[in-house]
Structure 1
């Protein structure tokens, strides 16, 4: 005997998953944005340091601070991206 889930139950599960994804996005999206912004700042400041050399002392500080944020934020970034991908995959599975 095979028991199938009703359409109402599947819609309820999908709505619950979407709600969980939205609730967690309040925490994951800022982490992703901050790490992405620091990555851009690091690359831009490092390029300026390479072009101008020692004359770009302030840019070296920006590169150092943004690199520190990238290193310290990498685990949180990986967790945030993993959670986003997990929930997106679950929602897509329920949609099909």
Structure 2
């Protein structure tokens, strides 16, 4: 039985194509990941201020509520973005490795 392997040129082309796909997809996935990260930081920071200052930090409760609502609304896009990033990185690792 004959075993057929990919040539080095084919592997390089496949790697270059996957790297380009990852860069192109990053234009959409990275902003989503950054927004979720910033909203998470705002949420935690605002609740820390509320815990320290108590009821005097009424504006921080509004910030916490807004950032929590953004987190809930963007959560599906965040999961999709992280899934795409993980898939592309795993695929690159398999191709290059």
Cα deviations across residues 38-84 of structure 1 (Å, max 9, x unaligned)?
00000000111111111101101100000001111111111101111
TM-score by structure 1 length?
0.97
Residue equivalent to 2:82: 81
Moved over 3 A (4+): none
Structure 2: stretches of 5+ with no match in the other structure: none
Match of 1:52 in 2: 53
Q: CA RMSD in A?
A: 0.6
- Is residue 31 of structure 1 aligned with residue 35 of structure 2? no
- Please, what TM-score do these two structures have when normalized by structure 2? 0.96
Matched residues, number: 96
- The 1-side partners of 2:71 and 2:47 are apart by 14
Whole-angstrom distance in 2 between the partners of 1:53 and 1:90:
49
